[in-house]
Amino acid sequence: MKQSRKERTIVILTITPSVVAVGVFVYGFIAWSIRVSLSDWIGIRPDYTFAGLKNFISLFKSVRFLIDIYNNIFFTILFLAICVGGGLFLAILLDQFIKGEGIFRTVYLFPLAISPVVSAVVWKWIFSPKVGVNVLLTNLLSKIGIERTVEFGWYTSTASFGPFNIALIPIIIAASWGFVGYVMAMYLAALRGIPAELKEAARVDGASEFKIYMKVILPLLKPITLSALIILGHISLKMFDLVYVMTGRGPGFVTDFPSIFMYETTFAANKFSQGAAISLVMLLMVAVVIIPYLTMSLRRET
Amino acid sequence: MKKILILLLTATFVISLIFMGVGCKEKVSGEVEIFSWWTAGGEAEGLQAMIDIFEEKYPDVEFINATVAGGAGFEAKPVLVSRMTGGDPPDSFQVHAGHELIDTWGVGDYLEPVNFIFEEEGWYDVYPEDMISILSMGDDILSVPVNIHRSNVLWYNKAVFEDNGIEAPTTFDEFFAAADVLEAAGITPLALGDTGIWAAVHLFENVLLGVVGSDDYIDLMDGSVRWDSDEVKEAIQTFVDLLDHVNDDHSALGWDEAAQYVIDGTAATTVMGDWAHGYFMAKGLTPGVEYGYVPSPGTAGNFMALSDTFCLPADAPNRDAAIAWLKICGSKEGQDAFNPIKGSIPSRTDADISLYDVYLKSAIDDFGVDIITPSIAHGAAVSETWSAAIGDVITLLVADKDVDAAADAFQAAADENL
């Protein structure tokens, strides 16, 4: 197939602006961040004096950064598990062709449309130690005659299982609430795409409904699960707005994330070089998730 | 035809020149955007009082009150840094006098010196020399101070103290003794609201001053006293002991919510700067009646000071209007409108004392005789980089209460920033 000259010009003309924009605003700034991260820039005026890997070395020696990494790992694992598990569960329920399906679908999807800052403020109140669920629990228990003695600190708690801070739980709940509907929508679309004949055939062969889901439907949903994991994974590694508004760093950094560390280091402590180093480590973490996915999907296309 | 046109053009030109002359003389128009973090009760009303004066004097200028909530500017400062470095400066912004002003903005060469305003308005005669020196880099005065705050104050609920038969504590021993009595009565001895950690830094610096004394406190800031010395460790230990007597939801609250606990009587005291005074008054309380005040334990005779100032960014989009604003900030009229409401004392020596209430009068008197010590949490004593490092150490300290680790980390932060 030979392209005419005119076609080729059009192709080049239409692609060039986005290539230039991505080149400058994505790759250009990544390169610039690398330069800053290797510099000695402290204070507001740029200072590109070469400082080697100093910023990265001090970063990995920093207690705060270590806590941040643990926090982010635990947050990611639980956030993904709840979103994917919950999303699948909701999608299967909705796929039973129930009445008012449209209403339920909208209700589950709504949290995604709410600004994370707004929902963070509400969740902050819900899990505040002296109001919200704590009061609710106390009142409910006293109604049935139990005097409650244990007060949950929720996101102010400094207790932990090993390196896992339990103060993260309210944040995980808030974040999952926002995204579970999104995963549900993905699964629901996929479920609707599965031909009815497959289920029929399984039924004819005498498979139970449970077995049909386990052996026929779930394997067919694998690509969706993978996409959901990738999308949510990179969201959770970059999580900032929700956590910053809801709790901030927390006592003893129990709810601190690399993104918050990066923001405060850069713009509150004015250590731009260190901030750039943190953002590059975050970029690497996201790349670990995204690149295998991209290569895989590219290979599939060719 | 051509001649008429030229005539017309010349006429318009001359007329507009005349009007321009008139306009330049008095009128400032357009808009002015003033950036601050004054949103809580007291401080917001104080700012509004100054805005009212501005709007009365310059009715043609649209005043844009750009505030970002959060005490001590913890949330506002990052927003400001990204705006300034991104080339979108406000016309004037709030900045603490001292290292925050000089190390961050002065050294960065982002500000236009305001010496000319001081000369025009005759302010060299009415501002104390010490005040001008903490605003200056070399000979350049970088900002206009609106107030002075005292930050080493222990505020207490008088009714709670009377009911439990307690006198206002002046030493830590007295405080801990009082704390036992209060806890037995089911009252939190000390309210703390340290979300974003600065209020814990604020408490710590007052404990530090109370334990090591003003000489060593000031020497800590230039490295001539070590941060891992025994006396600093004693201060850290005292701070950790105090944490046993604070409300357990402290990390979920702001300073104003902690002050509310004192108003409600669920907590007896809080250590806060005198913007808490503004907050109490905004809630309709009277100083000396519902609430009392003493220097925080061990700090009598010391005045932990910070000053809010407004500066002139070098590339302010509406320079004339910004200068008009700064003239109000530094004027007697502006300060006497702002400070009695905000709960701070004027930075000028000629303020009208009769406007100030009983607490502020006592603060004005103390400022004249006490030893002035600069605040860490509020940008006066150390650079923002160092102050942030201290904040990180205290964030860990409030959770793990490891005194030796904190002392070592403080020393490491000092080594890095000196």
B74 touches chain A (CB under 8 A): yes
- Residue B10 falls inside a structural domain: no
Closest CA to A266 of A282, A248, A279: A279
CB contact under 8 A, A267 and B77: yes
CA dist B271 and B178 (Å) reads 15
Contact (Cβ atoms closer than 8 angstroms) between residue A94 and residue A188: yes
* Region for A268 from its dihedrals, namely left if φ exceeds 0, alpha if ψ lies in -120 to 50, beta otherwise: alpha
CB contact under 8 A, B78 and A268: yes
Return the CATH number at B156: 3.40.190.10
Q: Indicate whether B279 and B350 sit together in one domain.
A: no
- Residue B6 falls inside a structural domain: no
CB contact under 8 A, B392 and A64: yes
CA dist A183 and A4 (Å) reads 44
Neighbours of A253 (CB within 10 A): 27
Chain B hits for A266, CB-CB cut-off 8 Å, are 78, 81
Please work out, in degrees rounded to the nearest 5, the angle formed at the alpha carbon of residue B392 by the alpha carbons of B389 and B397: 130
Q: Indicate whether B373 and B356 sit together in one domain.
A: no
B314 touches chain A (CB under 8 A): no
pLDDT of B168? 94
Which of A247, A251, A267 faces B81 most closely, judged by CB atoms?
Answer: A267
Quick one: CA dihedral B101, B104, B109, B111, positive or negative? negative
Chain A: closest CA distance from residue B50 (Å): 28
End-to-end CA distance of chain B: 75
Contact (Cβ atoms closer than 8 angstroms) between residue B75 and residue B132: no
CA dihedral B248, B250, B251, B253 (to 10 degrees): 130
Q: Indicate whether B132 and B93 sit together in one domain.
A: yes
Q: Indicate whether B340 and B288 sit together in one domain.
A: no
Per-residue CA distances from B200 to A3, A299, B170, B193, B258 (Å):
69, 54, 20, 8, 12
Chain B: closest CA distance from residue A297 (Å): 37
Which B-chain residues 148-177 have CB contacts (< 8 A) with chain A?
Answer: none
pLDDT of B24? 43
Chain A hits for B82, CB-CB cut-off 8 Å, are 267
pLDDT of B25? 40
CA dist A177 and B22 (Å) reads 62
A132 touches chain B (CB under 8 A): no
Per the DSSP assignment, residues forming a β-bridge with A1 are none
**Structural domain that includes position B282:** 152-305+369-417
Q: Which residue has the tokens 């609201």?
A: B193
Q: Which two tokens stand for residue B44?
A: 């917001």
Q: Which helix (H) or strand (E) holds B73?
A: none
Q: Please tell me which residue of chain A has the smallest CA distance to B106.
A: A44
CB contact under 8 A, A153 and B110: no
Q: Which residue has the tokens 């104003």?
A: B256
Binning pLDDT at 50, 70 and 90, where does residue A124 land? very high
- Residue B2 falls inside a structural domain: no
Q: Indicate whether B215 and B348 sit together in one domain.
A: no
Chain B hits for A271, CB-CB cut-off 8 Å, are 385, 388
Contact (Cβ atoms closer than 8 angstroms) between residue B197 and residue A254: no
- Last residue of one domain, picked from the residues B367, B385, B400: B367
Chain A hits for B85, CB-CB cut-off 8 Å, are 44
Per the DSSP assignment, residues forming a β-bridge with B153 are B272, B295
Contact (Cβ atoms closer than 8 angstroms) between residue B324 and residue B54: yes
Q: Indicate whether B34 and B165 sit together in one domain.
A: no
* Three-state DSSP class for residue A121: helix
Regions in chain B scoring below 70 on pLDDT: 1-27, 70-72
CA dist A114 and B39 (Å) reads 25
* Three-state DSSP class for residue B31: strand
Q: Is the pTM of this model over 0.95?
A: no
CB contact under 8 A, B81 and A270: yes
Q: Which two tokens stand for residue B231?
A: 């006396």
Which A-chain residues 232-271 have CB contacts (< 8 A) with chain B?
Answer: 247-254, 263-271
Longest CA–CA span in chain B (Å) reads 98
Contact (Cβ atoms closer than 8 angstroms) between residue A243 and residue A257: yes
- Residue B18 falls inside a structural domain: no
Q: Which residue has the tokens 């479920």?
A: A191
Which of A44, A128, A269 faces B252 most closely, judged by CB atoms?
Answer: A128
Angle between helix B255-264 and helix B198-220 axes, rounded to 10 deg: 100
CB contact under 8 A, A156 and B248: yes
CA dist B389 and A76 (Å) reads 28
In chain A, the domains with their CATH numbers are 68-301 (1.10.3720.10)
Q: Indicate whether B141 and B185 sit together in one domain.
A: no
Q: Tally the domains of chain B.
A: 2
Chain B: closest CA distance from residue A289 (Å): 29
CB contact under 8 A, A129 and B105: no
pLDDT of A258? 96
Q: Which two tokens stand for residue A121?
A: 């403020």
- Residue B3 falls inside a structural domain: no
Q: Which helix (H) or strand (E) holds A73?
A: helix A63-94
Query: What's the whole-number average pLDDT of chain A?
Result: 90
Residues with Cβ within 8 Å of residue A212, at least 6 apart in sequence: A199, A202, A203
Closest CA to B388 of B97, B73, B69: B73
Per-residue CA distances from B284 to A135, B281, B289, B357 (Å):
29, 5, 11, 14
Contact (Cβ atoms closer than 8 angstroms) between residue B390 and residue B208: no
- Residue B13 falls inside a structural domain: no
A130 touches chain B (CB under 8 A): yes
Closest CA to B142 of B355, B312, B17: B312
DSSP B296: P
- The strand order across the sheet containing B291-295 reads B188-191, B267-272, B153-157, B291-295
CA dist B46 and B65 (Å) reads 13
Chain B: closest CA distance from residue A81 (Å): 28
Q: Which helix (H) or strand (E) holds B127?
A: none
CB contact under 8 A, A268 and B77: yes
Please work out, in degrees rounded to the nearest 5, the angle formed at the alpha carbon of residue A256 by the alpha carbons of B271 and A239: 135
Chain A hits for B387, CB-CB cut-off 8 Å, are 269
**Complex ipTM tops 0.95:** no
Which of B74, B385, B400 faces A42 most closely, judged by CB atoms?
Answer: B385
Which amino acid belongs to residue B58? Y
Which amino acid belongs to residue B101? L
Size of interface A-B (CB pairs under 8 A): 89
Residues with Cβ within 8 Å of residue A194, at least 6 apart in sequence: A217, A220
Which of B385, B389, B399 faces A251 most closely, judged by CB atoms?
Answer: B399
Neighbours of A165 (CB within 10 A): 26
- CA B412 from centroid of its chain's CA atoms: 27
Residues with Cβ within 8 Å of residue B391, at least 6 apart in sequence: B197, B198, B201, B377
- Residue B338 falls inside a structural domain: yes
- Helix and strand element counts for chain B (H, E): 17, 14
Strands B153-157, B291-295: parallel, antiparallel or unpaired by DSSP?
Answer: antiparallel
A81 vs A4, residue with greater confidence: A81
Average of per-residue pLDDT across A265-284 = 93
- Residue B17 falls inside a structural domain: no
Closest CA to A78 of A142, A4, A174, A148: A174
Q: Indicate whether B315 and B273 sit together in one domain.
A: no
Per the DSSP assignment, residues forming a β-bridge with A165 are A160
pLDDT of B184? 95
Which of A44, A128, A268 faces B388 most closely, judged by CB atoms?
Answer: A268
Q: Indicate whether B207 and B142 sit together in one domain.
A: no
Q: Indicate whether B210 and B73 sit together in one domain.
A: no
CA dist B159 and A191 (Å) reads 66
Q: Indicate whether B231 and B296 sit together in one domain.
A: yes
CA dist A108 and A112 (Å) reads 9
Neighbours of B107 (CB within 10 A): 15
Q: Indicate whether B381 and B318 sit together in one domain.
A: no
Which amino acid belongs to residue B177? A
CB contact under 8 A, B396 and A263: no
End-to-end CA distance of chain A: 17
Chain B hits for A63, CB-CB cut-off 8 Å, are 396
pLDDT of A134? 83
CA dist B243 and B241 (Å) reads 5
Chain B hits for A270, CB-CB cut-off 8 Å, are 81, 104, 384-385
pLDDT of B76? 86
pLDDT of A148? 67
